[in-house]
Structure 1
Amino acid sequence: MSNINTLELDNQIWKEFFLEDVVTINSGKRLTKADMKLGKMPFIGASEANNGITIFTSSKNESLDSNVLGVNYNGSVGFSFYHPYKALFSDDVKRVKWIDNSHNNRYTLLFLSSIIKQQKDKYAYGYKFNAQRMKRQKILLPVTQNDTLDWTFMEAYMKQKEQQILKPTIDKLCKLLIINNITGKGKLSHSQWKAFYFTEVFTEIQRGKRLKKADHAEGESPYVSSTSLNNGVDGFIGNESGVRIFSDCITVANSGSVGSAFFHRYAFVASDHVTQLKREGLDKYAYLFMLPLISRLSEKYSFNREINDERIKREKLLLPVDDNGEIDFTFMSSFMKDVERDILDTTLKMFNGKINVNKSKLWGGGKMERI
């Protein structure tokens, strides 16, 4: 089985199949507007938008299906969408599933959908993707060394794609959660706040050093640049001279994805597209408290208006203060520990719930015995 972190299409064995050899193809059912009753059930038409849903109905017929692909053979020909929910299908849409029903799930069907969509340029309104043509349509699918369909790869590959798509959104939501906590509960739990220049907060403000792509040496040191993904890490290099190496600090992108800010506990090589923000003696949590506040610089700057060395010195952060008017780093650290605990508790409850559901499916019905 391939490692999910390194799954690549080019590394697989592929084999050509007729669609009819691997899937079942069933028709939808014609339902005129005059006969349709409005309701809550999705009705799948030959649309390329909204996952193929054209209206919601309370009508019923033999096209009712779920955990299935809807493949347009008319209208927006060749478009394919996955429907985990119960839905009705128009006569312009074919219902497609794997013949091996034990492998019909979200991920293998999404993999199949992406393969089928590659054929849409072959068909058009005047050359419909009807049932007969679908049956004889050839597609390439990954297979194992034994020449059988590689279900494990298809499922793992689509899970990997899902994670890649969701990660930026999850990261963004986590940042919003922290911002809301800080500006909401944080302000309520700490009555004194004050604006400080960056130069008052950080004892080290230093830009990284330019290193051309052609000069990158192979290695294992993280190279942090202006990307908004992967904690700002844009690759790994082996350069040790002529570079600036930072650690235990925040970086903020001063160009590219301007304002993107990340905390780095590890040592890394910094490009000239990021600026180090550091204060000796701070722990991880105090840095994390300031991170979403610094990220708000992205609202003020852009690709055409970079954060240069002078501008960042004039920027201010609104931070909690103690009775002496000094930055209350102790509060910031304690507050972020509470936020982390809340997030971890919520995440653990979610995963425990999934584990319990899976256990009930695994051991339920007397089909399997515990070992």
Structure 2
Amino acid sequence: MEKLQAVQWGEFRIKDIFDVSSSNKVIHANKVKIYDTQIPNTYPYVVRQSKNNGIKGYIHENLKFLNPANTISFAQDTFLSFFQKQKYFTGNNVKVLKYKGKNTIKQKSLMFISIAIQKAIAKLSWGINSSKESILETKFFLPIDHQNQINFDFIEKFIKELESAHLAELEATHLAELEAYLIASGFTQNDFKLQTRDRQTERERERERERAASQAEIENLYLNIVWKEFRIKDIFEQIKTKNVVTNGPGDLPATTAISINNQLGRYISPKGATILQNVFSATANGNGKVFFQPKPFTILQDSYAFKFKYEINNKKEFYLFFLGSLNKVFQKYSWDNKSTWKRVSEELITLPVDNQNEIDFDFIEKFTFLIMKIILNEIIDHYNKKVKNILICIANLK
């Protein structure tokens, strides 16, 4: 902000900088197929909307009706100004602003100017409309140099610094989110290393080798394990909970029949509630689904909780493995075939067993950890690709 305040500003009219023309053809949305994402041989379809840079989608149309790239689209009755990097088609009442200077104008400068124009026309509203003449006379402010000319050097440098700062902020935000997710998933700082971009390629190769080794170990484990069917009621028991349907709002998470948000549909007062932790919850109505609840919660309605009948180590790997096995059973239940405990408890699940024909918890722990390790590496790679894509986008603006 200090740099913007320190630079000198001059007033310009659109006609001082741009030629204003109508679109090469008005294309009506109900006459074409609009794609949400750009596929081969399609181009942006710019209309009078305020989101997504005015781009409603992407369309096939005769190429002779394309408007030139590196121009500014100006929506006449919604008063929206956007820089368009690609060639594009338009809908109704969209003018095209083409830079008329002798030298080629850079994309960063066009982007800056489109924002300056938008700031000037933001006070105008739908229904006023505008003619070509009124657009040409639209006044706005831009940084100027000592010759009272547009200070393109300042604009380019300012946007580059802004992009660098924004990229650093994005990287820091994504890194913090990733670290928080990994730690919440049970990994410690020693279980993963988030590298600078200088080592990303090397670490990607290392993670690929780790994935391959983990996958081979999983396959070896799987081939050498024996599986056995168990009745759910022989392993788990339902937990009796107090009725708290009438409890008012509060800060205690409570389960309902929803199958999203880890089944936590309400937050209620803890007064008189049965507070549970490290147990399973399940829907008793609607789509059948089981959830692991690692933090304190209670049962509100259309749901119930159950736990292991005998004491086990409260390792997250155990709960996650059983969660997958249980949901293979629960997924067949629905509104018409409710997943009540009476029904579900009679179902069979298949589990690994050891030499004594007992549930093999050692296998479960190792197997689940290896799966989590593979997922961990994929998450880190996804993060790195996300940052790389941001860098590519910024590079393309240069």
Name the TM-score class by shorter chain.
0.5 to 0.7
Partner of 1:94: 94
Tell me the distance in 1 between the aligned counterparts of 2:238 and 2:353.
22
Is this contact kept in 1: 2:257–2:302, CA < 8 A? yes
Tell me the distance in 2 between the aligned counterparts of 1:325 and 1:103.
74
Say what the alpha-carbon RMSD is for the aligned residues.
5.2
Aligned partner of 1:222 among 253, 256, 262: 253
Partner of 2:159: none
Cα 1:40–1:356 change in 2 (3 A) is closer
Bigger Rg, structure 1 or 2:
2
Partner of 2:305: 276
Secondary structure in 2 matching 1:262 = strand
Are 2:235 and 1:235 aligned?
no
Structure 1 gaps of 5+ residues are 1-19, 110-118, 123-128, 137-154, 160-180
Structure 2 gaps of 5+ residues are 1-13, 32-38, 50-54, 98-108, 119-125, 136-165, 171-214
How many angstroms does 1:269 deviate by? Answer: 1.1
Cα 1:216–1:361 change in 2 (3 A) is same
Are 2:283 and 1:253 aligned?
yes
Cα 1:26–1:284 change in 2 (3 A) is farther
Residues 57-136 of structure 1 aligned to structure 2 (within 5 Å): 61-64=66-69, 86=86, 88-92=88-92, 94=94, 101-102=111-112
- Give the aligned length: 263
Cα 1:83–1:191 change in 2 (3 A) is farther
Tell me the distance in 2 between the aligned counterparts of 1:236 and 1:294.
26
Is this contact kept in 2: 1:250–1:278, CA < 8 A? yes
How many angstroms does 1:296 deviate by? Answer: 3.5
Are 2:358 and 1:340 aligned?
no
How many angstroms does 1:288 deviate by? Answer: 0.6
Cα 1:217–1:88 change in 2 (3 A) is closer
Partner of 1:194: 228
How many angstroms does 1:233 deviate by? Answer: 1.5
How many angstroms does 1:352 deviate by? Answer: 3.3
Aligned partner of 1:267 among 290, 296, 313: 296
Letter in 1 for 2:25: R
Is this contact kept in 1: 2:247–2:268, CA < 8 A? no
Are 2:274 and 1:244 aligned?
yes
Secondary structure in 2 matching 1:314 = coil
How many angstroms does 1:275 deviate by? Answer: 2.3
How many angstroms does 1:267 deviate by? Answer: 1.7
Tell me the distance in 1 between the aligned counterparts of 2:96 and 2:248.
48
Identity across the alignment (%)? 19
How many angstroms does 1:263 deviate by? Answer: 1.2
The alignment's TM-score, normalised by the length of structure 2, stands at 0.50
Deviations 1:139-186 (CA, angstroms, capped at 9, x unpaired)? xxxxxxxxxxxxxxxx9xxx9xxxxxxxxxxxxxxxxxxxxx9xx959
Is this contact kept in 1: 2:247–2:271, CA < 8 A? no
Tell me the distance in 1 between the aligned counterparts of 2:62 and 2:40.
4
Partner of 1:206: 239
How many angstroms does 1:101 deviate by? Answer: 3.4
Is this contact kept in 2: 1:26–1:94, CA < 8 A? no
Residues 252-331 of structure 1 aligned to structure 2 (within 5 Å): 252-256=282-286, 258-279=287-308, 280-282=311-313, 283-331=315-363
Cα 1:71–1:252 change in 2 (3 A) is farther
Are 2:45 and 1:44 aligned?
yes
Tell me the distance in 1 between the aligned counterparts of 2:234 and 2:74.
60
Cα 1:226–1:323 change in 2 (3 A) is same
Cα 1:45–1:232 change in 2 (3 A) is same
Secondary structure in 1 matching 2:381 = helix
Secondary structure in 1 matching 2:41 = strand
Is this contact kept in 2: 1:65–1:88, CA < 8 A? no
Tell me the distance in 2 between the aligned counterparts of 1:192 and 1:217.
49
Is this contact kept in 1: 2:67–2:89, CA < 8 A? no
Deviations 1:294-343 (CA, angstroms, capped at 9, x unpaired)? 23345311123211231011122122222332222221222221122222
